[in-house]
């Protein structure tokens, strides 16, 4: 009622009474609004009841929403472990917002329960249930509330076997459906859902089909199903198949980047190397620890559940078998690391020739590449009778993705050489053996490789390459390189240095390239500087042997010999002395034809039965001294080179396969993006290193580890600081 209002102003008491009445009316209005939110007329809550399970195909109406089946509905239901209320229980008496639904679950706790949800969260949960439990965007907290009910029902079945086995199978299908929907949303949910499927599979065998095609990605440690499968094989003394061994590894070993980024390649490589190491498979003797189907529930209302199994040994508790498998997995990881790093930088480059070049040898045949197949077809079509193919840049460069147009880097040349090697072919020049990077205007010799064809230069082969280059210069001096001259050049060098069949094959291809491209003496001087006097004389005599194969040394050849003798640090007097010593017999001096009608040259008398150069002595001398190794370290990155001891400061903290001094050089190079040649030589000198050998060693390590070089170009050196820092880290 209202206080009567007259003409006179209300008294103080009347004002107080009126204010009290107004407040009461406002409270009543608010109460009516709240009642509308809590319980609209058409969805009044039912009378207080004990929570009941809604079996398959049933539903209940709660605040205007159809709950669907597989839920508990009621006003009260104690948790199975006796602590508090069952978290999945839908209590119709609790408030539900009439308009707002918090689908994001902003206030849902870590262990949610329907009782503790806010009104807007309850509305969002009921909407999700009514919509068929299909919304992929719903907060995972709501999925867990529903899942808690499924867990409880399965645990009730295990405890007292009081429910229908068909219903448990139906629950398994629902769990599998939810797993497919929300596995990527929450790793935690995926793990619990997978574990519940494992539990159901132990009590209801018909559900095991739901686990097929699902690996153990979402389990913590080996799953029950995996343990049972391994244990049954152990009891039967049967080998573990590669696929099952890999599942065991994945459940027990932290996933490396190659395992994730190159999953298909990793699986294939693991299978190949597993068969190589274990044949039909690893056989493990059964132990006396048995598998328990232990289920640790997601719900806080359930205790750990242990289901008694038949006595199946749990071999996942043994240390040695899994240690062997993890070692194999690490080996596969290391083998795929360059390929993985390349894909990390070039996600679309999986089918490229560069990616193919970085694959482990085991995967070449099983991992097709369109670029590789086209390149192999091209080479096959061009091989001649000698097994050599001369290809120009225009034919090869389409297979090389140049970082800088017009220039092929050493790393790009290396990728090409590696790819060809995996296809069964070799290329000359080959940067891996000290050859130059492929010239965009040049040509290359390709050939079908013998099994022992080298991809790293031995001391003998590196010296042979140097002699071959110098010999080719002499042979070509008269513009007429005969087949005999070419064959003798190869034979003299190969016989002297006792090269293998594969090295001889590559040397023949290298000679073919030298005679086609005629690189001349450019760049040789700095490489020859490290030769000892003995080594210089041996090379000089080999050059003379080459020059005299046709029994005539014409003026052009003499001029080239003089130039090369000067280049290797021998004077002209030594040239003439070596020439006479090589060709003179005991009773027949060498005659010099000075006829004005004939160009000045040496007329060579008939060759004595035995050459004046004692090849055995040369071979023995080379084997004894090995003094050319310092040259080879400079030219071909020979890692066996002996060097002075580096300063103590550089002895510690070696990086990977690099020695301490090389590691320190890498650290210093990483400080700048560009270095002049003089600065690099100064740095190397401080560390008692030969610069070229150390730089090649650094790049070799970079290719093996990161799949690309630390440095490129010559002067200045361009440093890939990202790769350098990655190696140092």
Whole-angstrom CA distances from 597 to 592, 593, 594, 601 are 14, 10, 9, 12
Helix, coil or strand: residue 392:
strand
What does the DSSP 8-state code read for residue 299? S
Q: How many CA atoms lie within 13 A of 162 on its CB side?
A: 7
Does the pLDDT at position 3 exceed 50?
A: no
Tens digits of residue pLDDT in 247-272: 999 988 888 889 989 999 999 999 99
Higher pLDDT, residue 592 or 422: 422
The answer to whether the beta carbons of residues 693 and 659 sit under 8 Å apart is no
The band of 555, judged by pLDDT with boundaries at 50, 70 and 90, is: confident
Label the pairing between strands 717-719 and 711-712. Answer: antiparallel
Q: How confident is the model at residue 70, as a pLDDT?
A: 96
The band of 432, judged by pLDDT with boundaries at 50, 70 and 90, is: confident
For 689-710, give the DSSP string. Answer: --HHHHHHHHHHHHHHHHSS-S
The band of 308, judged by pLDDT with boundaries at 50, 70 and 90, is: low
Region 154-169 average pLDDT:
83
Does the pLDDT at position 13 exceed 80?
A: no
Q: Both tokens of residue 419?
A: 């790819």
Does the pLDDT at position 12 exceed 80?
A: no
Q: How confident is the model at residue 551, as a pLDDT?
A: 66
Q: Both tokens of residue 538?
A: 């041996």
Q: How confident is the model at residue 28, as a pLDDT?
A: 54
Region 290-318 average pLDDT:
84
What does the DSSP 8-state code read for residue 87? T
Give the integer Cα–Cα distance in Å for 528 and 568.
Answer: 6
Q: How confident is the model at residue 681, as a pLDDT?
A: 78
Higher pLDDT, residue 702 or 293: 702
Tens digits of residue pLDDT in 199-229: 888 888 888 888 877 765 555 678 888 888 9
Does the pLDDT at position 531 exceed 80?
A: no
The answer to whether the beta carbons of residues 266 and 259 sit under 8 Å apart is yes
Residue whose C-alpha is closest to residue 320's, from 359, 284, 357? 284
The band of 354, judged by pLDDT with boundaries at 50, 70 and 90, is: confident
Q: How confident is the model at residue 125, as a pLDDT?
A: 97
Q: How confident is the model at residue 517, as a pLDDT?
A: 84
Higher pLDDT, residue 636 or 554: 554
* Cβ-based neighbours of 128, under 8 Å, separated by 6 or more: 103, 135, 138, 142
Q: How confident is the model at residue 7, as a pLDDT?
A: 41
Residue whose C-alpha is closest to residue 621's, from 539, 703, 549? 539
% the chain with pLDDT above 70: 76
The band of 130, judged by pLDDT with boundaries at 50, 70 and 90, is: very high
Does the pLDDT at position 470 exceed 50?
A: yes
Q: How confident is the model at residue 480, as a pLDDT?
A: 59
Does the pLDDT at position 21 exceed 50?
A: yes
Per-range mean pLDDT, top range of 32-41, 393-402, 563-572, 707-716: 393-402
Q: How confident is the model at residue 265, as a pLDDT?
A: 95
The answer to whether the beta carbons of residues 419 and 375 sit under 8 Å apart is yes
Residue whose C-alpha is closest to residue 421's, from 449, 381, 456? 449
Higher pLDDT, residue 14 or 340: 340
**Which of 122-131, 211-220, 437-446, 540-549 bottoms out in mean pLDDT, i.e. has the lowest?**
211-220
Q: How confident is the model at residue 700, as a pLDDT?
A: 79
Higher pLDDT, residue 695 or 237: 237
Tens digits of residue pLDDT in 628-683: 434 443 443 333 333 333 333 334 478 888 888 888 899 999 888 888 887 887 78
Per-range mean pLDDT, top range of 460-464, 703-707, 718-722: 718-722
Give the integer Cα–Cα distance in Å for 293 and 315.
Answer: 14
Region 157-171 average pLDDT:
83
Q: How confident is the model at residue 590, as a pLDDT?
A: 42
The answer to whether the beta carbons of residues 462 and 434 sit under 8 Å apart is yes
Give the integer Cα–Cα distance in Å for 296 and 418.
Answer: 51
Region 93-114 average pLDDT:
92
């Amino acid at each position: 009622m209202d206080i009567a209002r007259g003409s006179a102003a209300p008294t103080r008491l009347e004002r107080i009474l009126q204010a009290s009445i107004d407040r009461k009316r406002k409270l009543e209005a608010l109460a009516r609004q709240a009642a509308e939110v809590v319980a609209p007329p058409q969805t009044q809550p039912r009378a207080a009841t004990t929570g009941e399970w809604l079996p398959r195909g049933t539903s209940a109406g709660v605040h205007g929403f159809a709950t669907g089946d597989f839920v508990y509905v009621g006003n009260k239901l104690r948790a199975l472990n006796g602590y508090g209320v069952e978290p999945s229980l839908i209590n119709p008496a609790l408030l539900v917002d009439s308009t707002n639904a918090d689908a994001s679950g902003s206030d849902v706790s870590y262990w949610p329960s329907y009782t503790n949800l806010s009104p807007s969260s309850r509305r969002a949960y009921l909407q999700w249930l009514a919509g068929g439990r299909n919304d992929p965007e719903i907060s995972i907290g709501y999925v867990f509330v529903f899942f808690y009910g499924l867990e409880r029902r399965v645990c009730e079945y295990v405890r007292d076997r009081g429910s229908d086995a068909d219903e448990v199978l139906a629950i398994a299908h629902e769990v599998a459906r939810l797993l497919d929907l929300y596995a990527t949303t929450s790793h935690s949910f995926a793990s619990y859902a997978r574990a519940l499927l494992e539990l159901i599979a132990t009590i209801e065998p018909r559900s095991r089909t739901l686990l097929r095609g699902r690996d153990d990605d979402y389990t913590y440690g080996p799953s029950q199903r995996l343990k049972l499968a391994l244990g049954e094989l152990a009891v039967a003394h049967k080998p573990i198949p590669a696929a099952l061994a890999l599942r065991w590894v994945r459940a027990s070993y932290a996933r490396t980047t190659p395992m994730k980024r190159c999953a298909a390649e990793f699986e294939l490589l693991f299978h190949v190397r597993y068969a190589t190491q274990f044949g039909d498979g690893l056989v493990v003797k059964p132990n006396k620890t048995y598998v328990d189907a232990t289920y640790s529930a997601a719900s806080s209302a359930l205790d750990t559940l242990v289901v008694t199994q038949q006595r199946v040994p749990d071999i996942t508790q043994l240390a040695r078998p899994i240690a062997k498998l993890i070692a194999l997995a690490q080996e596969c990881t290391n083998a795929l690391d360059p390929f993985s790093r390349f894909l990390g930088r070039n996600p679309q480059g999986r089918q490229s020739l560069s990616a193919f070049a970085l694959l482990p040898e085991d995967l070449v045949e099983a991992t097709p590449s369109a670029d590789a197949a086209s390149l192999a077809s091209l080479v096959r079509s061009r091989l001649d009778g000698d097994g050599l193919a001369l290809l120009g840049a225009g034919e090869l460069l389409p297979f090389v993705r140049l970082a800088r147009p017009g220039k092929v880097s050493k790393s790009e040349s290396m990728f090409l050489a590696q790819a060809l090697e995996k296809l069964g072919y070799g290329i000359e020049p080959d940067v891996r053996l000290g050859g130059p990077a492929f010239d965009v205007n040049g040509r290359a010799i390709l050939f079908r490789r013998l099994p022992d064809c080298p991809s790293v230069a031995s001391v003998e082969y590196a010296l042979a390459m140097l002699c071959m280059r110098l010999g080719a210069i002499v042979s070509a001096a008269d513009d007429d390189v005969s087949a005999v001259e070419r064959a003798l050049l190869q034979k003299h060098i190969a016989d002297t240095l006792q090269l293998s069949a594969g090295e001889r094959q590559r040397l023949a291809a290298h000679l073919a390239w030298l005679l086609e491209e005629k690189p001349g003496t450019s760049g040789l001087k700095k490489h020859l500087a490290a030769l000892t006097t003995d080594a210089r004389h041996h090379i000089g005599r080999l050059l003379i042997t080459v020059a005299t194969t046709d029994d005539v040394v014409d003026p052009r050849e003499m001029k080239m010999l003089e130039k090369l003798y000067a280049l290797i640090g021998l004077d002209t007097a030594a040239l003439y002395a070596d020439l006479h010593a090589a060709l003179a017999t005991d009773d027949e001096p060498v005659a010099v034809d000075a006829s004005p009608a004939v160009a000045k040259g040496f007329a060579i008398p008939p060759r004595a039965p035995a050459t004046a150069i004692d090849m055995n002595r040369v071979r023995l001398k080379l084997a004894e001294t090995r003094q050319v190794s310092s040259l080879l370290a400079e030219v071909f990155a020979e890692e066996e080179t002996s060097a002075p001891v580096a300063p103590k400061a550089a002895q510690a903290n070696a990086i990977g396969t690099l020695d301490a001094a090389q590691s320190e050089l890498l650290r210093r190079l990483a400080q700048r993006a560009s270095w002049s040649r003089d600065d690099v030589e100064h740095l190397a000198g401080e560390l008692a290193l030969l610069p070229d050998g150390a730089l090649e060693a650094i790049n070799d390590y970079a290719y093996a580890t990161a799949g690309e070089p630390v440095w490129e170009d010559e002067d200045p050196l361009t440093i890939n600081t990202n790769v350098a820092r990655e190696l140092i880290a």
